[in-house]
Amino acid sequence: MMFGSTQPETGDNKWRRQLDKFVKANQKELAAVFWGLWLANGDSQGTIGIDLQPTPHFVYCPKEQIENLNNRVENRLQEILGIIENHKPEVEVVMIGIGKGEIKLVQFAPEPAPPICFEEVGKDVDGLLELLEQRMSEEIVF
């Protein structure tokens, strides 16, 4: 990564930057949907993912599939697996961004914490998923 670079963004990096911007702008709602899904399923379904293709939508990434992918890429996802394994859902949000055959870890500790975000947003999980998917469709373009 080159800091302060004025080189044009490549298509491969553009989705990452757009996802970062989206996460920053929607932290409270993402924390709320994360917590709502955690209450419903814990980690039994896997880690929440944001799949950007063909249109942005939420998916579950089962731990076994992430481990298999890690094996196929010579353990380059070992750090991500450690973060997923050790995160504290009541304090931080951990999701996986999926785009263009690549993944990106999405991790942040919102203020307030995820349980409070869920209470303050005041929407059910389905409503939050729909709202966030609509916003992603408008803000993240391939």
Assigned domain for 27 exists: yes
Assigned domain for 84 exists: yes
Assigned domain for 135 exists: yes
Nearest to 60 by CA among 69, 51, 44, 47: 47
Assigned domain for 46 exists: yes
Is pLDDT larger for residue 126 or for residue 2? 126
Assigned domain for 8 exists: no
In whole angstroms, how far apart are CA 8 and each of 72, 98, 112? 31, 22, 36
Assigned domain for 100 exists: yes
Assigned domain for 2 exists: no
Separation CA 91–CA 71 (nearest Å): 29
- List the beta strands (DSSP E) in the chain: 47-51, 57-61, 93-99, 102-108
pTM, rounded to two decimals: 0.89
Radius of gyration of the chain measured on its C-alpha atoms: 15
Of the pLDDT bands very low, low, confident and very high (cuts 50, 70, 90), residue 70 is: very high
Note the pLDDT of residue 141: 82
Q: How many domains does the chain have?
A: 1
Domain ranges, residue 20: 16-139
Of the pLDDT bands very low, low, confident and very high (cuts 50, 70, 90), residue 5 is: very low
What is the residue whose two structure tokens read 């729909």?
130
Percent of the chain with pLDDT over 90: 85
Assigned domain for 4 exists: no
Strand bridging mode 47-51 / 93-99: parallel
